[in-house]
Amino acid sequence: MPSLLRQARVWQGFAALLALGLVIGPLGPLLAAIFRGDAFTQLGEARVALVFWRSVWMAALSAGLAVLVGLPLAILAHRTRVWGAELLALLTPLTLLLPPLLMAQGWNGLTGWDGLWASVFTLGMCYAPLPALLASRALAVQPGAAHESALLCGGRRLALREMLTTARPAVALGGSLAFLFSITDFAVPDYMAALGDTFGVYPGHVFNHFRDDDYWAGARAAAPLILLCALVLYLGLWARDRWSQETPGSGRQADALDWGRATPAWSLLAWSLLGLTLLLPLGRIVFELGVAGPEAPGTWGSRASESVQAAFDRGREDVGRSFSNASLAGLVALLLAPFLAHLLASRRGRTARLLMTLTALPLLVPGVGYGMGAIAFANRPGWSEFYQGTGLVVLVYAGRFLPIAVFLLAERFQSVPRSRDEAALTLGLSYPRRLLQVFVTPQLSAWLLAAGLVVVFAVRELDLAILLPGANQSAAVRYFNALHFARDGFVAAFGLLIAILLFLPAMLYAAWTSLRRRDV
Amino acid sequence: MRASLVPLLALVAWTLPACGGAEYDLVVYASHDQEHSEPIIKMFEERTGLKVRAQYDVEQNKTVGLVNRLIAEKDAPQCDVFWNNEIAHTIRLKRLGLTQPAESEATRAIPAEFRDAEGHWVGFAARARVLMVDPKQLEAAGTSLPPSIWEMTAAEYAKYGSMAQPLTGTTLTHFAVLSQQLGREQVLDWLRASRESGIALTNGNATSMKRVCQGDFPWCLTDTDDAAAAIANGYAMEVVYPDQTDAVQGTLLIPNTACMIAGSERMEAAQQFIDYLVSPEIEEYLANSRARQIPLHPEAKAPEGLQLPFRDFAVLAVDWEAAATELQEVEEEFQKIFTQ
């Protein structure tokens, strides 16, 4: 028995079983629908096929836009000397904390844009941080030698091309993730269609079928979307692997590129890109705090102050509950993710890609289907306390968002030199200690970030919050309830409050590391 | 590494107590505006000493909400009372065998046309389907209002107005009622024509209302509570009750409904809560709220300026059972027209 506990396979197998246990209940019925013969016949109907293909090309355009904005933003913020580069890098991911619908409202309020193209644009801007974040990570470990030789041989132009080559694998994956989030988003196209020319998207078709009395109708409608998402993710992973270069993890990192006299122009470009993804719509949301009709009493300032006060007063307890549930889910991810990430990182090629695609399945299915599956699984006689309690919420959240943590950690673990692991093995360290000392401890910030992302997505999740009893009194439900009942000032204030609270740990961590760097 | 464990342990200490299931005397699912339903439920808790677990709903982000949760939970019901902000889905639940009679002296005080003959549901605090108008825009456009819902898509009116697509909420209910009363084919033809008519078709009543406030159109078809929200937000809007001529039958009124869920193990508390909801006091509370809901209880006092059914405007008579049947049958047809 003791020798068994020293083996990697045993621990990884146990973690995989636990992860499977978390997701099988909610996920099982949805996946079963894919294998039912009639799941794809509806695509033969011209109307449904038209809507499906429209969703595909719209999401492809949004993903393309996300890459076009995200990649330059990553390069400028992380690898060049533009003004306020650190702040740019810190603010880039903030967009991911804000609900896309809020961003859509911000853009519409700002520009008056609506309809199909406004939806493509908004989703592109909302998900630009995904390729930006992945690219920035790849650029951060770009070997100094490669960068300097490019700079010497071909100046800034070649150095930039070298950066693009370095970032390409990460961008391929980031772009495919932007596609997945765009194609499954219903709120933004629905909102933009409501304001301009009417058009339907496939998630709308899925939504309509989940309203049927028969659960299978929704599951069948979701099946083509799930399969397409899995395929796109696999292709993204394939592109990443194909374009990846072997880079020594312990090599000297490249210096930031100096723009010289062109610094103001490049800085302006960098901040303009951040303006598109974050600052402009955020500014509009702030403006919404006190917007009212011409006959409303008070000034903008007094109304904004009332909105913020109301957000604190009415939403405080819900925010606390949301963070509490999400934190526990993050904790589960913190414990399970290293084992699964190591399992994925130790595989290569097609096996690794297939494993990753399978791991991502809980994220690829519609939240409403996942929630319905959880009800079907856990709402049974004798389980009432478990079903009503927050234990179920934590397990369901953890299962759905664990893939995010696993992906992030697996990517970091892959950069750990194999020699270190082999040395630890030679020293006779048990697997848990090896995992902790060789992989987790050197990647402590990534480990915490992985759990932090699970918290962020769990706090943002709406469908599960409505469907699971223990999750209902939450920030997400209060926020969207107010949105439905047109409480604009409250919605803006509460959205900002949630975003700030989610972003606060990252800001504190950045400030702390910055101070430490200065001390050194 | 050890230092990093300190915040983790603190996190566990903070969050673990939340994991246990709590005991409740009553579970209420409420799809009404949380800002109003929450204090009403809290007031009930304070008065009775009963501990209520409230669950809320949203529609804006196209979630599948509490109705589907009730259906999904049918084998082991968790909810005792469903407070629905409309009526059609309540009848759908009754048809599925998910409700049970909950009649009392208090529920019988509500006029018969707003409660179920078998006592499965009772209506209160209604919304009317009205035209919300910006008089300044209307004058500037040099146009007038359509006198009837049916004329909204006529060439002289359509480009000045907006309505929600009849896919969810009260607009779906409204067109199901019209379909049941006037004939399905006529309504489907009208809806098909509406796509080409120039009327702006939005994703919900609130969006239509906002677009009028933004100055995009002079009028929209919406609910009285949305119009009241616009006025509360400082916009000079007027509310017009359509279909008030001899030729057409009256404005549609859609009440909130309360029903007791079949299999409820806390029937006494559930009945107590339903009686509380339909009391004149709660009707008055909702009538005075920002939503300005229309009281149905004969003893409820309406605030000044609130127009009352039968007294101030004619109401469309509805056979709700038949309308709910129609809704289930036409819903997919509506989807085919608008999901393209």
Whether the CB-CB separation of B131 and B190 falls below 8 Å is answered with: no
- Output the six-digit token pair for B61: 């982000």
pLDDT over 70 percentage in chain A: 95
**pLDDT of res. B12:** 59
Q: pLDDT higher for A514 or B179?
A: B179
Q: Determine the Cα–Cα distance for residues A178 and A130; give it in Å rounded to an integer.
A: 6
Q: Each residue of B94-120: pLDDT tens digit? A: 999 999 999 999 999 999 999 999 999
- Chain B segment 67-86 residues within 8 A of A by beta carbon are 68-69, 71-73, 75-76, 78
Q: What is the CA radius of gyration of chain B?
A: 22
Kindly state whether A101 is in contact with chain B, defined as any CB-CB distance less than 8 angstroms: yes
Average pLDDT, rounded, for chain A: 86
Whether the CB-CB separation of A241 and A350 falls below 8 Å is answered with: no
Q: Each residue of B140-187: pLDDT tens digit? A: 998 899 988 888 999 899 999 999 988 888 899 999 999 998 899 999
Inter-helix orientation angle A300-345/A488-519, to 10°: 60
Q: Each residue of A191-219: pLDDT tens digit? A: 888 777 778 889 888 888 887 777 778 88
Whether this prediction's pTM lies above 0.90 is answered by: no
Nearest to B201 by CA among A200, A111, A118, A193: A193
Q: Each residue of A226-267: pLDDT tens digit? A: 999 999 999 999 988 888 766 554 567 778 888 888 899 999
Q: CATH 3.40.190.10 residue ranges in chain B?
A: 23-126+255-306, 128-252+330-338
For residue B261, the cross-strand partners are B99
Which of B65, B165, B229 is nearest residue A466 as measured by Cβ atoms?
B65
Kindly state the average pLDDT of the residues A10-37.
Answer: 83
A194 → chain B, closest CA residue: B202
**pLDDT of res. A493:** 92
Q: Which of A177-186, A496-505, B209-218 is least confident?
A: A496-505
User: In order of start, what are the domains of chain A with their CATH numbers?
Assistant: 45-287 (1.10.3720.10), 301-520 (1.10.3720.10)
A389 CB neighbours in chain B (<8 A) are 19-22
Kindly state whether B226 is in contact with chain A, defined as any CB-CB distance less than 8 angstroms: yes
Average pLDDT, rounded, for chain B: 88
Cross-chain residue pair A482–B34, CB shorter than 8 Å: yes
Given CATH 3.40.190.10, say whether it is the number of domain B128-252+330-338: yes
Cross-chain residue pair A187–B62, CB shorter than 8 Å: yes
Q: Is the pLDDT of residue A5 over 80?
A: no
Nearest to B11 by CA among A27, A452, A125: A452
CATH fold label, B23-126+255-306: D-Maltodextrin-Binding Protein; domain 2 (3.40.190)
Q: What is the count of residue pairs from A and B with beta carbons less than 8 Å apart?
A: 204
- Chain B segment 9-28 residues within 8 A of A by beta carbon are 11-12, 14-16, 18-22
Q: Determine the Cα–Cα distance for residues B219 and B217; give it in Å rounded to an integer.
A: 6
Pairing verdict, β B253-261 and B81-84 = antiparallel
Tell me the HSE value of A93 on the side-chain side, using a 13 A CA sphere: 23
Burial class (CB in 10 A: 0-12, 13-18, 19+), A239: middle
**pLDDT of res. A44:** 81
Q: Which residues contact A56 (CB under 8 A, 6 or more apart)?
A: A183, A228
- Complex ipTM value: 0.79
3-state helix, strand, coil in chain A (%, to 5): 85, 0, 15
Cross-chain residue pair A389–B20, CB shorter than 8 Å: yes
Cross-chain residue pair B63–A190, CB shorter than 8 Å: no
Cα–Cα distance list, A309 to A39, A293, A306, A314 (Å): 49, 20, 5, 8
Cross-chain residue pair B78–A379, CB shorter than 8 Å: yes
Q: Determine the Cα–Cα distance for residues B306 and B228; give it in Å rounded to an integer.
A: 10
- Measured in whole angstroms, how far is the alpha carbon of residue A9 from the centre of its chain? 29
Q: Determine the Cα–Cα distance for residues A279 and A267; give it in Å rounded to an integer.
A: 15
Q: Each residue of A126-179: pLDDT tens digit? A: 999 999 988 888 888 777 787 788 878 878 888 888 888 888 888 998 999 999
